[in-house]
Amino acid sequence: MTCVCFLTSNCLMPKFDLYDGHGDPVAVLRGYCTKMRGAGRKDKLLMMYFSQSLSGAALEWYTRQDVSKWYAWDDMAQVFARHFQYNIKIVPDRMCLTKIEKKPNKSFRKYGLRWREQAARVNPPMEEKEMVEYFFQAQELTYFGHLITDIGRPFNDVVKIGEMVEDGLKSSKIMSYYALKATTQAIQNDKGSLLGQKEHDDVAMVVLESRHGPKGTHMENK
């Protein structure tokens, strides 16, 4: 995996696009070499800063490696590419897209971009309208309820509306489906308890009257 670059000693260290273990590893290596323009065949320099271009699962993998076994950049690049090549082999299908959920700690915009990247890998390619329909199917009920009326809009517009829903949830202007369901259930339970007590009292009154007559009277045995 040869990296040809021409860096001067006065160049500042570039800002890397962090690779978290998802996506084509070969494309990642090429992008890294481009960022390290000027490193040339200075393998030690390329190897030294490579970890700074990694995050998440990729960085965890790197920290478990015995770097002393890598004598040259090509050695490390080949091992890296082999380990993460499953990203190329495992291509998502349409059904997989419906299972990509938004993580609580991620913004709706980042979620939408990540979902769109996976959708772009589906084969045969998806039309915009079909993509939006599958994106709706991946949403949890709160977002689905607010987005469904915008079916037919471009994907980017749907993501923007999703961000508005996200802001509404954060500001409590919108109640999540699960919070609304819990509140409704609590109200129903309270009403049920009150109705249950009233029904119990009514039955008790009927039994009492059947034995002693209406309230204030006394049934005589004949």
- Cα(150)–Cα(158) distance, rounded to whole angstroms? 7
On whether the CB atoms of residues 21 and 58 are closer than 8 A, the answer is yes
Q: What percent of the chain has pLDDT over 90?
A: 34
Whether residue 7 has pLDDT greater than 60: no
Look at residues 114, 94, 105 and name the one whose alpha carbon lies nearest to residue 159: 114
Residue 205 confidence (pLDDT) above 60 = no
Confidence of residue 41 (pLDDT cuts 50, 70, 90): low
Please write the tens of the pLDDT for every residue from 210-221: 344 444 444 444
The answer, yes or no, to whether residue 199 has pLDDT greater than 70, is: no
Q: Give whichever of 1-10, 158-167, 201-210 has the largest mean pLDDT.
A: 158-167
Residues 115, 100: contact at Cβ < 8 Å?
yes
Query: For residue range 54-111, what is the model confidence (pLDDT) as tens digits?
Result: 999 999 999 999 988 998 999 999 999 999 887 776 677 899 899 999 988 899 999 9
Rounded to an integer, the average pLDDT of 27-48 is 82
Which of the listed ranges 16-20, 143-147, 151-155, 156-160 does the model predict with the highest average pLDDT?
A: 156-160
Q: What is the pLDDT, as a whole number, of residue 102? A: 92
Higher pLDDT, 205 or 86: 86
pLDDT of residue 38: 66
CA 76 – CA 65 distance, rounded (Å):
10
Please, what sign has the CA dihedral across residues 107, 158, 156, 29? positive
Residues 124-154 have pLDDT tens digits of 889 999 999 999 999 998 899 888 888 889 9
Structure confidence at residue 45 as a pLDDT band (50, 70, 90): confident
Of 183 and 195, which is predicted with more confidence?
Answer: 183
Is residue 207 within a helix (H) or strand (E), and if so which, with residue range?
helix 177-212
Window from 5-19, 27-41, 147-161, 171-185 with minimum mean pLDDT: 5-19
